[in-house]
Amino acid sequence: MVSLPTLTEPMAGPRHARHARLRSRLDYFPRSRLNRWMLRLLLALPLLATAIVTHVLSAPLEGTPNAALMARVAEIDWTRADVAWLGQISPPISTLIAAVVPGGRLGLAILGALVGGIFLQKVIEIAVQRHFHRSTTVILTIALAANPFFFYTATENFAGFLGLIFFGLGVSDVVRFASWGNTQSGFRAGILFMLATLSDPSGLLYVATAVAAVPFISLSRRGQPGARASTVLVLVYPTLAAVFAIITLNLLFLGNPLGQMGELLTEGAAERWQSLPALFSSLNGWLLLAPVVSAWLVAIIVGRWKAIPVSALVFVAIMAGYVVGLIPPGSAGNTFILMTLLAMAFIPSAKNRWTTALLDVVAVGQLVIAWVAALNRSIIVEWLNSLGF
């Protein structure tokens, strides 16, 4: 049997193109396009059922990010096309999608459910590509998705969900690019980070955190002059280009580089900063930290010690986003979903049964943490009550 190169093996020489073509066929899971879409639809069905029950069979819950998004879309004058109008539609990707999706909040919830199915299939595909043990793949996927946080975020926080998805997939590509020298993954990560920023304001913080984490990642081109600087440039350039264009337009035409975002960054920030210590003196605050500790445990088990400061930086970014108002009221589960994705991104190929067993135990713990934390969040409890629970 001919051994094909894995994702962790460098490819060079005259057979590089043939190996790349062969590997590209094995990169997909399932291999058949029809089966992939069937799996995506199957994974989306529970989310679709939740969206329909919430918005058709019961009264939709007010105070969710989707409710705020649709209210903001309704106030936009779509006959304009000036710079002030560009500020109103920021972040543009989620706002424009919400404007064109039929059905209002129901349509947005259904779209979020469908995107969630595609996302879960991609998560499984990445786990298969990384040669995770089957039990670890199944348990981690269940831990990520089979909890109220994931269902609520997919169906009630479309902008935040898009930002999390783009960033989570981008982090996986960062590992391939920085540690394995896969240049295509680097360009893909940069584009995904830009999409995260243009989907949700908190995406900018996630990207900044990812860039700050590069010094903690082992580079495939270690020792080469400018290796880290070039790595950071590839990852951050698309986001910087998009943000710089927006800042330039705001400065030239509105005289304010931040535009409407400036009001967002100042309104209520002082009160949220003062309430932060009280948050971590309660059970809810400790439950926010629990997914971070789980990510640290995964890093220790697999020997990826440098993943510990990375996950810590992301948590700090989430808290900063909460303080400055980049994470809208009614958001819930961002920390859990993001930390679970980070843990999966930094898990290497399965080494032995002992490591696999420990990872499975941590994954089960993640599921327990998700449910306990969700049932301690008032917005999630209200949402579950609207579903009849």
Please, where are the H alpha helices in 29-157? 33-55, 65-75, 83-88, 92-100, 104-129, 134-145, 148-156
pLDDT beyond 80 at 389: no
DSSP 307-328: HHHHHHHHHHHHHHHHHHT-S-
C-alpha angle 66-69-75 in degrees, rounded to nearest 5: 145
Of 188, 176, 175, the C-alpha closest to 216 is 175
367: amino acid identity, one letter:
L
Reported as a single tens digit per residue, the pLDDT across 38-97 is 999 999 999 999 999 998 888 888 889 999 899 989 988 888 766 677 777 878 899 999
The dihedral built from the CA positions of residue 298, 303, 305 and 307, taken in this order, carries a sign that is negative
Read off the pLDDT band of 332 (50, 70, 90): confident
Read off the pLDDT band of 235 (50, 70, 90).
confident
**Sign, CA torsion 104/106/108/111:** negative
CA 146 remoteness from chain centre: 16
Residues of the chain above pLDDT 90, percent = 28
pLDDT-above-70 percentage for the chain: 82
The mean pLDDT value for 196-220 works out to 76
pTM: 0.85
Instruction: Output the average pLDDT for the chain.
Output: 81
